[in-house]
Structure 1
Amino acid sequence: MRICAFGVRGDEVPYFQRWAARTENTVTMHPDYLTDQTLPLAAGYDGITSFQTVPYPSTVFSGMQQLKLRYLALRNAGYENVDLTAAAHHQVRVSYVPAYSPRAIAEFAVMSMLYLLRQAGAVQTALHDADYPLAKTFIGRELGDLTVGVVGSGRIGQAVIQILNGFGTRVLITDSHLPKNLALTFTPVSFEELLRQSDILTLHIPGDPENTNLLNEAAFAQMKPGALIVNTARPNLIDTAALLTHLRSGKLGGAAIDTFEHEADDLLQLAHGETFADPLWDELLAMPNVMLSPHIAYYTDTAVKNMVEQALDALVAFDQGVRVATELT
């Protein structure tokens, strides 16, 4: 099979090369995102794999149909940026990688909690200001003494619960489907009760339209004074303007944001060779009680290997007429 790979980063290259050598398939790699302008690079290939958070418009799928390209394997879990209706209309089958490494994201989420609890941002700010005495004054809190609300208890949420159980943390969850893992300790509550009781709230749900701005002005108003927010899930889950309002007032104690609300638009600007000027991002970045990261919670060697190999395996399965469990269309 001849595969054209888009959005390839340097860290992915060895995994592509090893997979191609092992399976005797051909993979041609490009760092460019998959767009109308780059799609011609895939002419003559049997399938495409790509990794990007910028949009896949309908014109990409009409172009794929014209090139007789029927398969697209995403190397990531999020697909709200993909026009699946257009893909189906143009007879392009799309797959994704829903669980490349739940543990990687879970560990990052808990690390973010610890960063906020120990006021590491304030400590670093003081040290950068050469105020060593001030840097020693930021007292922390212990994770094992607190209540963490986990919104979403799928693979990632369960990995978070498992780690928190090791700290002795009280864990609340809200989910329509409760984990069946009897080794996990948690208490199911309503979303409203979780907001009221949680010292830390961590998000692990998909970016479905009904989840847009799940944490909004009304939700923040119900939370405990000093509560912390962690989002390693999807960009649309938090109303950033409302988050900033409650950070400024001191109602919220801090936030760790790995998936920023406007990241798709901002990254699209960067993809076009520009810089982005986002006042919400800039204000968050200036706050010592906020930890910002550029959508890297998943980013470990294990996760990258799984993302590459599972996407490529899906393309081969498509080509061989085998059912693909991770198919979206």
Structure 2
Amino acid sequence: MKIAVLSTKPYDREYLDKFNTDHKHELVYFDAPLNSKTTNLAIGFEAVCVFVNDAIDKKTIVKLAEIGIKLIDLRCAGFNNIDLEAAAKYNIKVMRVPAYSPQAVAEHAVALILTLNRKTHKTYNRVREGNFSLENLTGFNLYEKTVGVIGTGKIGAAFCQIMLGFGCKVIANDVTESEKLIKIGVVYGTLGELIKNSDIISLHCPLTTDTKYLFDRKAFSKIKKGAMLINTSRGALIKTSHAIEALKKEQLGYLGIDVYEQEENLFFKDLSESIIHDDLIERLMAFHNVLITPHQGFFTNEALDQIAITTLKNYTDFEQGLPLKNEVKQ
């Protein structure tokens, strides 16, 4: 197939080219994201390959249909940035990579926890400046702390197992309870109980109409004072302005995010020589107890291998008329 690959970085090209020798698709790379203003880049192609911050709304889909695009393939798991109803209406198939390396994202969530808690990022900078003081570096033991996990799919399940290994009490909330996790000690309960009782809360649920701004002013008012909140899922699970309020009141003790609700304007870009016109993220970065990483939870060799392998197989399955195992439907 002839495929327009949007929002590409050097590592996308490296891994897709590495595994395309088995599929022999014609991949043409574009740095630009896909949105209603850039659909002309896909003229002459049969399919497009997109990423988390591409905006595939109804207007974009109408334009893609007009130029003959038959397939949109996401090289990620989330699909909240695609209007599935419009895609179905215009007979464009949507596919994704449902699982690449759950451990990669789960381990990154743990890295955020450990860094915020033990302040290793601050220590690194201090020692490089010849400051070996321990002042203001006090952390806490993870052992026997209560960790709340919202969403126990593949990533959430991997995270639960890691935290159990630390000796934590793990409580969880999901629409579907995992018998496997229950057997190893995870206790399911209501969302309210989880928010109230957790020392650390980690978000691993998808972004839907029900979960958008799951953590807003009301939720923050109910968390245990000084609790830590970690988000490696989707930025809009947290209402950023309300998180800032909770941090200022010291109700929220720590915040670690690998995703941000306005990240499409920031993440995956080098803005080191630019003025950042986002007052909310600038305010977040001013807090000593906030840690932000730029959507790098997935960024391991193993995950990039699997993303490329699955993405290319999705195109081959579509081209050959095989069952579309990774198709996304309404």
What TM-score do you get using the length of structure 2 for normalisation? Answer: 0.90
- Mapped partners of 1:276, 1:312: distance in 2: 36
User: For the Cα contact (< 8 Å) 1:269–1:276, is it kept in 2?
Assistant: no
In structure 1, distance between residues paired with 2:23 and 2:137: 54
Match of 1:233 in 2: 233
Using the alignment, how far apart are the partners of 1:146 and 1:268 within structure 2?
A: 34
Q: Partner letter of residue 146 of structure 1?
A: K
User: 1:75: how far off?
Assistant: 0.5
User: CA 1:38 to 1:105, structure 2 compared with 1: closer, same or farther past 3 Å?
Assistant: same
- Partner Cα separation in structure 2 for residue 155 and residue 168 of structure 1: 21
| Residue identity in the other structure for 1:176 | V
Aligned to 2:154: 155
Q: Distance in 2 between matches of 1:277 and 1:30?
A: 25
Return the alpha-carbon distance in structure 1 between the equivalents of residues 320 and 190 of structure 2.
45
> What is the aligned partner in structure 2 of residue 249 from structure 1?
249
Distance 1:201 1:134 in 2: 30
Are residues 253 and 120 of structure 1, via their aligned partners in 2, closer, same or farther at CA, if it must alter by over 3 Å?
farther
Q: CA offset at residue 308 of structure 1?
A: 2.0
Mapped partners of 1:105, 1:118: distance in 2: 20
- Matched ranges for 1:1-329 at <5 A: 1-123=1-123, 132=131, 135-181=134-180, 184-266=184-266, 276-329=276-329
* Residues in 2 aligned to 1:87 and 1:270: alpha-carbon distance in whole angstroms: 32
Normalising by structure 1, report the TM-score.
Answer: 0.91
Checking the alignment, whether the CA contact within 8 Å between 1:270 and 1:276 is kept in structure 2 is no
CA distance in 2, matches of 1:274, 1:58: 32
What is the percentage of aligned positions where both structures have the same residue? Answer: 29
Could you tell me which amino acid in structure 1 is paired with residue 165 of structure 2? Answer: G
Unaligned runs of 5+ in 2: none
C-alpha deviations, 1:188-234, integer Å up to 9, x for none? Answer: 12111111110000000000011111111121111112100000011
- Contact map agreement 1:116 1:256 (CA 8 A) in 2: yes
CA RMSD of aligned residues (A): 2.5
Distance change in 2, residues 1:270/1:126 (3 Å): closer
Q: Distance in 2 between matches of 1:9 and 1:296?
A: 13
Q: Which runs of 5+ in 1 are unaligned?
A: none
Q: Quote the offset at 1:62 in angstroms.
A: 2.1
Alpha carbons of structure 1 residues 285 and 131: separation in structure 2 relative to 1, 3 Å: farther
Alignment length (residue pairs): 327
Quote the Cα distance in structure 2 between the aligned partners of 1:4 and 1:115. Answer: 39
